[in-house]
Structure formats: structure tokens, C-alpha cells
Structure 1
């Protein structure tokens, strides 16, 4: 039995299913290439956390993972999922943000086992919560995404929503009197063309303005800025970027372009394309605002502290290939 066939059998993917689902895959996947600066290449995450890196020696107040463009049921998706599970064993994270294209090719719930439940079974069995948003593939044959919204393990109460994570009860709250017990508020967006943008933008402006969280993090499927196949979306940027700047959103996570690209902060917001979750990789270029770009299957870990967020992009071998520190004045 060939190695790829053996690994598919181990991970519970039938060759028939892989062939059917593979009709959406491109032939000739790209080799891993990376462009960037100011990183520590291939630093092992678990050793980094265990030994105490030069960044910090303290455990974060919150650790979460992020993925996007996952739901193909492919060998590469399972490789990313396995790497996530291995990291979790040493450095547990509380939740996973799923930035869309959760089920290929058309969002059909009939593929939920191979696209989600089987690859992430080790994490789901530990009670890790996934919080999803709708990608462009998710709305085609799923009652415009409603079938996925109704799926309980996606923890997606609506097309757009927010949720908070509080400071640990054992830790004094942030000294800034403008904040209460909320450490992070996550804002999940429907960035599809057919979204109810008038209502969503009014909601986002109001919700961001009312938030008392120390950190505000937004995630959606489509990038505002990207050097990948789809590229930047000027219309999306014109709608969202001013709100992010106005309300001091520090991080926007997305997918859609299948690869990884981190931008230098733009008006105070760090934008990261994190689309290497399993779907076939795209060719990426770079721009003058690109801090790091890579074409490899990967996911992210974010460690949240009172004064900073440390982001780490991790390949299927469990190695960190990009990191950044987002600072916050308390």
C-alpha cells in the first residue's frame, strides 16, 4: 500500500471519499516558500513555551488557535489537525477560530464528518470549542449557510456575532478603569457578498463601541489585504478598516487565500491571512506592507496577555515559522 493511501486509511479517509472531494483540488501543490523578516525560523513551540522564550516566561491569560479554508477532508487537512492536537497535548488552548470555508465544495452538511468531526476529534473530545464563520463555499448548497449556523459544534449563533473571554478569576483585573472583567471580545463577521451589510456594519460599530474588553479581535473569511490569488478587497477595506481604526481593533484574522500572510500594522490593526488549513495552496506575492508570507499548510496559536498578544504560525511539523508581538497600552 502506498504511503499516502496508508495515511488516509489511518486517518479514516476512504480513497473513494478522497477522490470525490478531490475534484475541487488543484493539481501540483506548491512547494513551501516563505518571505519575511524578524522571525525565529522553525522554533519548536512546545520547547519555546516550556523553557520560556525571550518574549515571556509567563503563561498567557488566554491561548487560542485559528484556522481557515479547512473542510476538504484531505490528507493535508488531517496533517494540520494532527499538528494542532499534538500542540494541544503540551500547550492547551481554550478555543479555535474557524475563518470560513468549513465544508467544501459547497457547504453541504453531508460532509461534516470528513470535513470536521473526524479530523478534529482529538480536540473535540477534550471540550475545545470551535467558533466558525461562513466562507464563500459554505453558502452555496446549505440554505445560504443556515445549515451550518444550525450545527451546534460550530458555535455560530448567527451570521455575525460576538463572544467574550474573561480574565482568570485568580488574577487582578486590568488597571485601566475603562475595562471590566472582559479580557477579549471576539467579533465574527459574515464577509460574503450577499451579507446584510447595512445591518452588520451598524451592529459592528455599536458592538465595538460598547465593548469593555481589553482586546478586540475580529475574524471573517475574506481578507481586506492580501497578496494571494484573490488579492485585496478594496470595497471590504473601505467598509471595515475605518471601524477597526476607530475602535482600536488590534487583530483581524481571515482566510480565502490559501496560505499565510502577515501585514505590518495598518492604522493600528494587524491583518493576517491564515488560509493554510487544508485546501490546496495558492501562489502568493508580497507588497510593501507584507511583514511575512508563506505558502505552506499551517494554523495559528495566539497567546493573550494584558499588554501583548503573541501570534505564532505553525506548520504541520509543529514548528513555528512566523511570530509577531502585538502590543497594547493598559
Structure 2
């Protein structure tokens, strides 16, 4: 009987280990080489995948032009990569029609680092994570959460959809692909712990966090309260410089009231929401544009410059922040 109980105890422990491993959000790391001149340049676009429609192709064309002028190192996608309901599988033609066939400019043939958005979770979310898509288009790299070490900066990509309680409690007519996410509370708890550890250990001059959902926004969705409560304190405590997101179909920059963090929304890659703004939530608002466009980021050891562009490639807003070189060395 004691032998039986001991065996059962071992099986229970083993099962718990399997469960923990399944919901753990360990952050895989990727090394991104740069030009070696101490600079890093990339574009940011979100909420784009509509087979070129809703001015997606026009935005892509201007991204190509600006990308060539800047000689960018890579592109960041802030999620909602494929509308309306993600991909149906790895062979879904929407991948080629909305990505490969749209972002054709030579300057955009660089690595794309992508996170999942809520619309991506409404399809086969696992398909977007599959290495098989990288065989179709080698630029594509999408994971739930991961870290990109780009020398002067580290980018921390965070899977934000599982934080939003409404998707679980009141999904409406939508069906979400929550494989490998249940139970969500455990999943997000592990993710926050992993992220906090990575941020604390980071020696990069600049720390940039990327997620789909906004922490601060004056557009349609507004602030994501779950991220304000759970993610923001970790960013503020670990000297994060930028938080990049999509979700709201606009361009905006909002300053944090408690830290130097800048909340930058680039979710205007295709369909925009004209006139959908709520400035009563506008504390710290520095810039807002409710049309289509994208964003560029250029970093050196001492400064960072962010530029927002409209669908014609015209500059809408430019912002620069400086950081002490001595501080970055320490």
C-alpha cells in the first residue's frame, strides 16, 4: 500500500510539472546583428493584414521608401497580423496575400518580429507560430513572447491577449484559440515573472517592450486595465524606455506620469478609425492621429528618435529623447 501511495505521489508531482511546463512562458532569445556603427533602425506597423486593402498596400509602399532611406535593420509588427480571424492554418493563402505579396520593397526584406493580436487568436493562433510559415517566407518570426537582443537595445515581446479577461468571460460570437494558454491566470503569472527577470538582467542601453494591447490610449479601446494593473508596474520598476503597441487603429504618443516611459501606438497599417478619440483620457497625450500610417525608431547609445508617418509617407510627429552615456555604461 505504501508503495502504491508513493507511486501515486510521484505521478501527481510529474503531472504538476507537466502542467507548469505547459503554461510557462519562458522567453526565447534571438540575437539581431546590426551594422556595427552603434545605431539601430527599425519600422513599426500593426493591425495590417487585409490583402492590401484599406490602404495597406499604400502604407507598405511608404514603409519601403522610408526603410530604404533609413537602411533599417528589421520590422516590428504589433499584432492583428491577419484579418478578420487570423489564419485558418499554415496553408492559408491569407499569409502570402496579406504579407508576402504586400511588403515587397527591397528594404522590407529583413527580419519581421511579430506578436499575436486578439484577431490572430480568433483563428489558428498556433499556425502563426509555426516554423512552416518561415519556409514560405523567411522574414516571418512570430512567437507568443520572446526577447530580441539588438546590441544597443533589447526588445521584449509580450503576449498581451491572455491578460484581457473579457476575451474569456464575454467573447461574444468570437471563438479564440487558447491552446497552450489555459489556465490563463497561471500563464500570465509565469509570463510576468519571466519578463521581470529578463528586464532586471538586461544590460542594454535601451529597453523596449512590445505588446498588442495598449497600456495607455485615447482611441477606441482606451487603456487596457489589466495591463495597467499587472504589466505597467514591472515596466516602471525596470527602467523601460518605450512600450510599443497596436490594437487601436491609430498613431499616438503618450508620456507616462510616473516614469520616462513613452507609450507609442502604431496600429494604423490598414483600416483606421476616423474620429474615434476620447481626449477625456488624455493625460500625458503628446500626439494623436486617426489615419493610416506607421512609425520608425532610430537608436544610438545616447539618443532615440521616433517618427510617425502618414499613408503618404509625410512626417506627422518627431520626438527625440537623450540618455546619459555614463548612465548606460553603469
State the TM-score, normalized to the length of structure 1.
0.73
Deviations 1:109-149 (A, max 9, x none): 4311221111112247x64111000000001121xx11001
Structure having the higher helix fraction is 2
1:210, 1:288 → 2: CA distance?
A: 31
Residue 277 (structure 2) aligns with? 284
Confirm whether residue 131 of structure 1 aligns to residue 110 of structure 2.
no
Query: Which SS does the other structure have where 2:60 is aligned?
Result: helix
Structure 2 unaligned residues grouped into runs of 5+: 1-36, 163-177, 182-186, 326-330
1:210 to 178, 192, 201: 201
Query: Structure 1 residue 264: deviation in Å?
Result: 2.0
How do 1:156-305 residues align onto structure 2 when only pairs under 5 Å count? 156=142, 158-166=143-151, 183-193=152-162, 196-266=187-257, 267-282=259-274, 283-286=276-279, 287-305=282-300
1:241, 1:327 → 2: CA distance?
A: 22
Query: Structure 1 residue 75: deviation in Å?
Result: 4.3
Query: Structure 1 residue 60: deviation in Å?
Result: 6.9
Return the index of the structure with the highest Cα Rg: 2
Confirm whether residue 149 of structure 1 aligns to residue 129 of structure 2.
yes
State the TM-score, normalized to the length of structure 2.
0.73
**Does the 8 Å CA contact 2:54/2:271 hold for their aligned counterparts?**
no
1:291, 1:82 → 2: CA distance?
A: 27
Query: Which SS does the other structure have where 2:42 is aligned?
Result: strand
Note closer, same or farther for the CA distance 1:237–1:123 as it changes in structure 2 (3 Å cut).
farther
Residue 60 (structure 2) aligns with? 81
Query: Structure 1 residue 89: deviation in Å?
Result: 2.7
Confirm whether residue 67 of structure 1 aligns to residue 45 of structure 2.
yes
Query: Structure 1 residue 220: deviation in Å?
Result: 0.7
Deviations 1:232-257 (A, max 9, x none): 11221111111111110000010101
1:95 to 74, 83, 89: 74
Residue 115 (structure 1) aligns with? 98
**Does the 8 Å CA contact 2:272/2:291 hold for their aligned counterparts?**
no
